[in-house]
Amino acid sequence: MSSPKLKLGSKGKLVAQLQKYLNLKGKIPKPVPENGEFGPETKDAVKYFQKKAGLKTELDGTVGPETAGALAKLVGATASSFGKEFGELQDQDKAEEKGKEAKNGGKPGKFGNVEYKSGGYVLSIPPDPAGTFPLVVLFAGITHIPPMYDGAAATPNYFKKAILAFSEQGGSFSGAMNELKPLLAQSQTKIGSISICGYSGGGPATFRDYSRATKGVGLIDPACSSSDLSKLDAKAVFSCNPDNWSPTKYASIIEAQKEAAKSTAGVYERTTISHEAYPKYFLDKFESKMI
Q: What is the CATH architecture assignment of 105-290?
A: 3-Layer(aba) Sandwich (3.40)
Count CB-CB contacts under 10 A for residue 130: 8
DSSP 8-state symbol, 137 = E
Question: How far is the CA of 200 from the CAs of 188, 205, 206, in angstroms?
Answer: 34, 10, 10
Confidence check: pLDDT of 1 > 50: no
pLDDT band with cut points at 50, 70 and 90 for residue 87: low
Confidence check: pLDDT of 101 > 60: no
Q: What pLDDT score was predicted for residue 100?
A: 46
Whole-structure pTM value: 0.66
**Hey, where are the domains in the chain?**
13-92, 105-290
Confidence check: pLDDT of 18 > 50: yes
Phi, psi of 144 (to 5 degrees): 75, -170
DSSP 8-state symbol, 22 = H
- In angstroms, the CA 166 to CA 139 distance is 6
109-134 per-position pLDDT tens digit: 999 999 999 888 999 999 988 899 99
pLDDT band with cut points at 50, 70 and 90 for residue 97: very low
DSSP 8-state symbol, 263 = S
